[in-house]
Chain A
Amino acid sequence: MTTRVQNTVMPGEPRARRSLYWQYMIEPFLYLSPAIFLIGTVMLIPLIIGISYSFQAIELLNPFDTGWVGFENYLKLWSDRKFWIALENTFWWTFWSISFQFFLGLGLALLLNTQFFGKRLFQALVFLPWAVPTFLSALTWAWLFNPVIGPLPHWMASLGLLSEPYNIMGDPSLAMWGPIVANIWFGVPFFAITLLAALQSIPGELYEAAEIDGATPWQCFTKITLPFLAPMIAITVMLRTIWIANFADLIYVMTGGGPANSTQIVSSYIFTTAFRKLDFGYASAIAVALLGLLLIYAIILLWLRKKLVKI
């Protein structure tokens, strides 16, 4: 980047003579072109190719049987029982993860917005889970849930939550809670960081004025804090929902979608279809279906935000 820009901008050239055309059409793109080029070639072109794959038969294990098949992959998807199970799992996975992450994150942000002893160290330590590489948080939690080396099954058994200390990730009715707990642990700092940033931008005078007028802390929270946070809440909840719905790493490492597909979500199903079966056509069809559902969700949420938030 550096050399290109240096060549085109002559040092010492008088600024006043530079034309509008230069300022509006050329110069910004000198700074932007590497970004545009990379996003275009690595993300947008593969996106289009990916959509086109969903109308083809592309199985690497079956290289002679390729070609355009129209909507065949989508028809297969419609009658694929595993896909519908995965869709239901995705819903619960996303719903529980986002709910806990949001409320715990909001609580943490409110705490961090007050003064207390050792705040800087505390903040560094509670944000740490966000820095732990995903595969490692997955392994750590898988280990914690393992009755041989992890304490959690024993604690749950002595609290009466489990009849005996066994691994909940081997139990189809409970297995999803393993990755969900790991995801909550990993995701609380994100909400805390973004909500804290929004909290810090609320003018302090508002609280002083409210206090003079005799408002209770609860009134301050609902009448000042929440309305100010609302735009940030809307955007972070939307982004996080989409990310979590797409987030297969934890599940892939912790349970691999098992036992009996009870933790298979749509995105982990895409990954296993592409990576294990090397059936790229079908994997792309699932991905397009997921993309469509998430777009609908985003549109509904943006519409709600427009109606509810008056900022």
Chain B
Amino acid sequence: MAVARSHPALTVGKYAALLGYLTFALFPLYWLFKIAITPDQLIFTEGTNLWPSALTIDNFRTVLFQTDFLAYFGNSLFVSLGTAAVTTVIAAGAGYAFSRFDFGGKRLIIAVMLVTQMFPLLMIIAPIYKIVASLGMLNSLTSLIVVYTAFNIPFATFLMQSFFDGIPKDLEEAAMMDGCSRFQALRKVIFPLTLPGLGATLGFVFTAAWSELLFALMLISKNEAMTFPVGLLTFVSKFSVDWGQMMAAGVLALIPSCLFFIFIQRYLVQGLTSGAVKG
């Protein structure tokens, strides 16, 4: 708003800066893609050229059909979708309570949730390993879902709270006057209005769970239960010479989280904005 004046020099500078940011953001991804479609025999001779002289999709074919890639992909999809769904439901409940009720211990609970965002998660990696091991749940995807859900609840709750805060209280009070119970009002009146918020939370938690590495590395050691990050890391050390295949696997790993992210980012800024107005 402030820089709306159209000084020609300023405009040129602005577009140069925009271009700079765009290059910095996209170049690594472009490179990932470029190596993935470069034929094997050209990688060493043309490895640092900006565009290869021949293209191939063999790397993608090999990765998809001759490695455990699809199994890792499926495991990760299961864990991430499970985590996103469970977290969103629980966080919606908690966010609703923070937004609409005044009750004893509210400030304490909010403070505890803030603290969980601050202490090193690595702090609890040893205890969690021992607890999960003693329950016999090592190498189980369910244990990963439970752990990730707990990690993501605090932030998701704050996000949902700011979405609920943006919906006028009068709406559900009117419904309750007309004889709805609070839960009916929530389900019939508030729920449809908060769909964008639910979508944003789902997407945010999905991307977080999709990329978690250290806990998955600690809790999963069996090949058939590995999630994507762990699988890709072992993949890298197993096939450490095959750059094309590694990059192809990388490109495929990008797709789900990028799709989700493009979908949610508008709502993310919106949710943070309404939160920022209060604070």
* Residue of A whose beta carbon sits closest to that of B89: A1
* Residue of B whose beta carbon sits closest to that of A284: B126
- Residue-wise interface mask of B (177-189) relative to A, using a CB-CB cutoff of 8 A (1 in contact, 0 not): 1010111100000
Beta-carbon contacts under 8 Å, B228-243 to A: 228-229, 232-233, 236, 243
* Residue of B whose beta carbon sits closest to that of A137: B28
Q: Does B8 belong to the interface (CB within 8 Å)?
A: no
**What's the least CB distance linking A92 to chain B, in Å?**
18
Beta-carbon contacts under 8 Å, A253-270 to B: 253, 267, 270
B268 contact from A5, A188, A193, Cβ within 8 A: A193
Whole-angstrom CA separation of A75 from B261 in the bound complex: 46
**What's the least CB distance linking B154 to chain A, in Å?**
7
Q: Does A77 belong to the interface (CB within 8 Å)?
A: no
Please indicate the chain A residues that have their CB under 8 angstroms from the CB of B182 in the complex: 9, 27
Are the C-beta atoms of B146 and A38 separated by less than 8 Å? yes
Contact A143-B35, Cβ < 8 Å, known A132-B257, A287-B123: yes
Are the C-beta atoms of A11 and B181 separated by less than 8 Å? yes
Are the C-beta atoms of B31 and A143 separated by less than 8 Å? yes
Indicate the size class of the contact surface on chain A.
35 or more
Are the C-beta atoms of B127 and A49 separated by less than 8 Å? yes
Are the C-beta atoms of B243 and A34 separated by less than 8 Å? no
On chain B, the number of residues with a Cβ less than 8 Å from chain A's Cβ atoms is 102
**What's the least CB distance linking B99 to chain A, in Å?**
10
Q: Does A207 belong to the interface (CB within 8 Å)?
A: yes
B118 contact from A58, A141, A298, Cβ within 8 A: A298
Contact A197-B272, Cβ < 8 Å, known A114-B1, A116-B15, A291-B119: yes
**What's the least CB distance linking B216 to chain A, in Å?**
10
Q: Does B78 belong to the interface (CB within 8 Å)?
A: no
Contact A136-B211, Cβ < 8 Å, known A38-B90, A44-B112, A122-B18: yes
Whole-angstrom CA separation of A53 from B124 in the bound complex: 10
Interface residue ranges, B against A (CB under 8 Å): 1-5, 14-15, 17-18, 21-22, 24-26, 28-29, 31-32, 35, 43-44, 47-48, 50, 89-91, 93-94, 96-97, 101-104, 106, 109, 112-113, 116-131, 146-147, 149-151, 153-154, 157, 176-177, 179, 181-184, 207, 210-211, 213-214, 217-218, 228-229, 232-233, 236, 243, 246-247, 250, 253-254, 257-258, 260-262, 265, 268-269, 272-273, 275-277, 279
Interface residue ranges, A against B (CB under 8 Å): 1-2, 5-6, 9-13, 15, 23-25, 27-29, 31-32, 34-36, 38-39, 41-47, 49-50, 53, 58, 104, 107-108, 110-111, 113-116, 122-137, 139-141, 143-144, 148-151, 154, 185, 188-189, 193-194, 196-198, 200-201, 204, 207, 217, 220-221, 224-225, 231-232, 235, 239, 242, 245-246, 248-249, 252-253, 267, 270-271, 274-275, 280, 283-284, 287-288, 290-291, 294-295, 298
Nearest 6 pairs of A and B residues by beta carbon? A133-B211, A131-B261, A42-B150, A197-B272, A46-B127, A280-B126
Other than the given A49-B127, A132-B258, A194-B272, 13 more pairs (CB < 8 A) read A1-B93, A24-B101, A31-B97, A32-B93, A35-B90, A38-B146, A104-B21, A122-B22, A124-B262, A124-B265, A128-B26, A249-B213, A284-B123
